[in-house]
């Protein structure tokens, strides 16, 4: 209604006033109009009756005058109409319609008989009323008689009525305005109070506010219902806040649990896998062929368990919405080559032929490198597992479809294939094609589920075509530029039948070779002395010379530390309580792993001859720095070998990395935490740093920050090697500060050697 009145933006008070007044005036106007119409028609009928009676009164007289052809008599009769002020004219006409006698108040030509004047009747014309009668003798028509009157009285009556109506409307309007103002307060104020409370609740989210009840009428009941609704919302809001806090706490606990489980489970398993690889290599070199299969089984079981843990943790993070997409720019060709080098041994294990075709004009990708690598690795590993003595093929092209630029990865195998029912279950977690597949080929059914989730997180999708007994084709569509973390890859996109490319390039599938540089001498020194002052003195000297220093306070601890650290040089005090230096030296020489380790005896007494006899060097206390440096140079080896600093609080992990690096010809420095690593870099600048992130005293992030502050150290390549799940925030902190981010769970020693070889090109310019 307010829109019809053109007043949609008025306040409620004014709307109520307008409604009351409009309703009152409309009713008054309609009633007045009806009354006026009725009065107007009644007055017209009265005029017709009055002048009809007058015409009938004169009818007989003028009829006789017409019959006797006495116009004077007829004129005299008509002259009596002079006393009727509203009669304008009158006339008597013969049967032929000729004027016989007339009366007129104005001068003018004789009036002719109107054509419509037949019989008895009346008619209203523009400015007059015409009353006409037929003149007859013995029912024989002899002529016509008309009287014409003005409408002045009718118009005057209408004007008077309109004046009265205007006065009435004005008076009624004042009364309606007064009444509406009084009534609107009882209606609008409670409603306005409700509106104010609703607005306050909406803006301030204060559900404790209540509206005031003005009465027991309908508005009062509305106020009660509104307040009751607010009370319910307040109760539910409080419950939701408690539930939200509980959920947030549960999410935090889950995140902490996942982070803890990720680190605590992956770290020991990585050590198990690493040591099993070292032992397997050592057993092969020593000809202990009986141990190799068992060590291989240990390594395989460790990798299987580690992969299962990783998949479960990743899937739980995806389901909880905690999986981040880290966007960076990378080369597709480089990614394909790295994945192929890694997966080639797996493909060839079942006697399969591996082919890779990659377009040579592919642009750089902007997306999550780690997840893209994992998708390709999972698909190729899966194809290799279900194919024996067949072929596995990877095709990579770019395509423009659906108004977007895409990378299309196809993994084609000639393996066992799948039925339509098996394909429907394929991407569900913990689901494989069927029970027999799980028994014959193993697996948890998580790899493909994670591939699908990762594709969707990056805005792509994965599709599969398969024929039982003939093989399968997995097609991954990945945006060239990942815009956001949105689940749009639902598989509902229409897929082109074929992707055509003009040129193809065969990707190299060569294995990465090991560096052939010669081994270098020790960089790890263990000081065994019961005097803490000697520890501090020797630590300063040795670190200045570029050595990694470990210490022990007595002989028994020294032997344990020697077995753990496998030092390259041992500085051994002779006079110690409980177990002196000679006993320690004897135990060292009796240990096959430590017998070849150079030992330098330090003592206040001159016992060099006995030391020489046992194959140890000798230094007298107080220790001369020049003499110490000269003696250490004997064991230091080739100074030109590249140096790598391994920073990790896990001694076992350092041992694995040291073995792999020394085998590649690197001199290795070690540090347990960031502070020790900074001191090591200050004493001897390494060509490469392998860095863990979670460490005591100063973690990897803090070490990187301090390292990059020194302009002389900014160009040292740093590779992060961690079991920590890196989120967007952690990756942002590492951005620009490291060359690689490697997951401890995602590599073996061959992969590590390949990465070190790649990083060596940056650090050594080779």
Question: Rounded distance, CA 707 to CA 701, Å?
Answer: 10
Chain segment 171-226, per-residue pLDDT in tens: 888 887 777 777 666 666 677 777 777 777 777 777 777 777 666 666 677 777 77
Confidence (pLDDT) at 410: 92
**What is the number of alpha carbons within 13 Å of residue 728 lying toward its C-beta?**
10
What sign has the CA pseudo-torsion 44, 48, 49, 53? positive
Cβ–Cβ < 8 Å for 57, 77: no
Q: How far apart are CA 699 and CA 682, in angstroms?
A: 18
Model confidence at 395, pLDDT cuts 50, 70, 90, reads: very high
Which tokens go with 243? 């539930």
* Cβ contact 462:490 at 8 Å: no
Weakest-pLDDT range from 343-347, 602-606, 711-715: 602-606
Does the pLDDT at position 444 exceed 60?
no
Question: Where does the pLDDT of residue 409 fall: very low under 50, low under 70, confident under 90, or very high at 90 and above?
Answer: very high
The number of angstroms, rounded, from the C-alpha of 410 to the middle of its chain's C-alpha atoms is: 28
Structure tokens at 385: 């597992």
**pLDDT band with cut points at 50, 70 and 90 for residue 413:** very high
Region 119-141 average pLDDT:
85
Tokens for 703?
A: 């070490």
Burial 453-491 (b: 16+ CB within 10 A, else e): bbbbbbbbbbbbebeeeebbbbbbbbbbebeebeeebee
116 or 260, which is more confident?
116
Q: 478: closest CA among 504, 457, 497, 499?
A: 457
CA-based nearest residue to 224, from 203, 197, 242, 258: 197
Helix then strand then coil, in percent of the chain rounded to 5, is 50, 20, 30
How would you write 689-707 as a 3-class SS string? Answer: EEECCCCCCCCHHHHHHHH
Flag whether pLDDT at 68 surpasses 70: yes
* Lowest mean pLDDT across 23-27, 449-453, 721-725: 721-725
pLDDT in tens, 275-303: 777 787 777 777 777 777 777 778 777 76
Task: Choose the weakest-confidence range: 124-133, 220-229, 269-278, 735-744.
Answer: 735-744
Q: What is the C-alpha to C-alpha distance for residues 430 and 449, in angstroms, rounded to an integer?
A: 8
Q: What SS3 class is residue 232?
A: helix
The residue-averaged pLDDT of 433-437 equals: 50
Q: Give the C-alpha separation, 445 to 426, whole Å.
A: 8
Cβ contact 450:378 at 8 Å: yes
If DSSP codes are grouped into helix, strand and coil, which group holds residue 200? helix
Nearest Cα to 43, choosing from 155, 122, 128, 123? 155
Provide the pLDDT for residue 746: 56
pTM: 0.39
């Amino acid at each position: 209604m307010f829109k019809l009145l053109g007043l949609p933006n008025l306040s409620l008070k004014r709307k109520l006033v307008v409604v009351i007044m409009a309703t009152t005036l409309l009713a008054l106007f309609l009633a007045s109009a009806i009354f006026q119409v009725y009065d107007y028609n009644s007055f017209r009928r009265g005029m017709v009756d009055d002048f009809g009676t007058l015409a009938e009164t004169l009818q007989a007289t003028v009829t006789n005058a017409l019959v006797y052809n006495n116009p004077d008599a007829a004129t005299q009769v008509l002259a009596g109409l002079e006393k009727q002020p509203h009669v304008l004219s009158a006339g008597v006409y013969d049967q032929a319609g000729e004027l016989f006698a007339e009366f007129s108040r104005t001068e003018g030509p004789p009036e002719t008989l109107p054509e419509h004047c037949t019989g008895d009747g009346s008619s209203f014309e523009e400015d007059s009323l015409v009353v006409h009668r037929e003149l007859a003798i013995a029912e024989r028509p002899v002529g016509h008689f008309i009287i014409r009157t003005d409408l002045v009285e009718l118009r005057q009556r209408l004007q008077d009525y309109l004046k009265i109506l205007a006065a009435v409307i004005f008076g009624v309007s004042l009364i309606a305005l007064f009444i509406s103002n009084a009534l609107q307060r009882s209606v609008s104020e409670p409603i306005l109070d409700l509106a104010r409370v609703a607005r306050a609740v909406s803006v301030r989210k204060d559900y404790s506010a209540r509206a005031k009840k003005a009465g027991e009428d309908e508005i009062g009941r509305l106020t009660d219902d509104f307040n009751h609704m607010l009370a319910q919302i307040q109760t539910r809001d409080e419950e939701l806040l408690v539930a939200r806090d509980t959920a947030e706490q549960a999410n935090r606990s889950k995140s902490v649990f996942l982070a803890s489980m990720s680190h605590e489970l992956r770290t020991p398993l990585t050590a198990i896998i690493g040591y099993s690889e070292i032992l397997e290599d050592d057993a092969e070199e020593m000809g202990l062929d009986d141990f190799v299969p068992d060590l291989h089984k240990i390594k395989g079981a460790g990798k299987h368990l580690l992969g299962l843990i990783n998949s479960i943790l990743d899937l739980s993070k995806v389901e909880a919405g905690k999986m981040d997409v880290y966007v960076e720019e990378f080369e597709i060709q480089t990614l394909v080559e790295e994945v192929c080098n890694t997966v080639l041994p797996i493909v060839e294990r079942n006697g399969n032929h591996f082919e890779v075709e990659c377009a040579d004009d592919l642009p750089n990708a902007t997306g999550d490198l780690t997840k893209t690598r994992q998708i390709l690795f999972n698909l190729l590993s899966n194809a290799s597992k279900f194919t024996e003595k067949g072929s596995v093929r990877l095709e990579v092209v770019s395509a423009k479809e659906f108004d977007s630029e895409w990378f299309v990865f196809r993994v084609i195998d000639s393996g066992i294939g799948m039925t339509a029912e098996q394909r429907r279950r394929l991407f569900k977690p913990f689901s494989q094609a069927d029970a027999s597949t799980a028994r014959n080929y193993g697996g948890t059914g998580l790899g493909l589920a994670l591939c699908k989730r990762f594709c969707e997180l990056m805005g792509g999708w994965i599709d599969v075509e398969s024929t039982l007994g003939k093989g399968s084709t997995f097609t991954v569509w990945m945006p060239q530029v990942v815009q956001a973390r949105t689940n749009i890859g639902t598989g509902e996109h229409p897929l082109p039948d074929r992707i055509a490319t003009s040129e193809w390039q065969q990707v190299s599938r060569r294995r990465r070779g090991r560096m052939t540089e010669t081994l270098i001498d020790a960089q790890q020194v263990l000081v065994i002395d019961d005097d803490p002052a000697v520890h501090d003195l020797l630590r300063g000297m040795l670190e200045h010379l570029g050595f990694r220093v470990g210490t022990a306070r007595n002989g028994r601890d020294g032997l344990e530390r020697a077995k753990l650290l496998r030092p390259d040089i041992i500085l051994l005090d002779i006079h110690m309580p409980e177990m002196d230096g000679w006993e320690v030296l004897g135990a060292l020489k009796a240990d096959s792993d430590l017998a070849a380790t150079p030992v330098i005896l330090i003592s206040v007494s001159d016992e060099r001859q006995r030391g020489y006899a046992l194959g140890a060097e000798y230094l007298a206390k107080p220790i001369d720095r020049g003499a110490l440096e000269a003696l250490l140079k004997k064991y230091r080896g080739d100074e030109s070998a590249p140096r790598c600093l391994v920073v990790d609080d896990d001694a076992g992990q350092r041992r694995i990395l040291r073995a792999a690096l020394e085998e590649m010809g690197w001199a290795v420095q070690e540090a347990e935490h960031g502070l020790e690593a900074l001191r090591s870099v200050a004493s001897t600048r390494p060509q490469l740093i392998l860095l863990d992130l979670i460490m005591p005293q100063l973690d990897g992030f803090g070490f990187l920050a301090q390292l990059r502050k020194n302009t002389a150290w900014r160009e040292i390549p740093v590779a992060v090697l961690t079991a920590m799940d890196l989120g967007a925030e952690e990756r942002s902190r590492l951005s620009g500060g490291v060359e690689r981010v490697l997951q401890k769970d995602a590599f073996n020693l061959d992969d590590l050697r390949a990465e070190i070889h790649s990083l060596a090109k940056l650090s050594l310019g080779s």
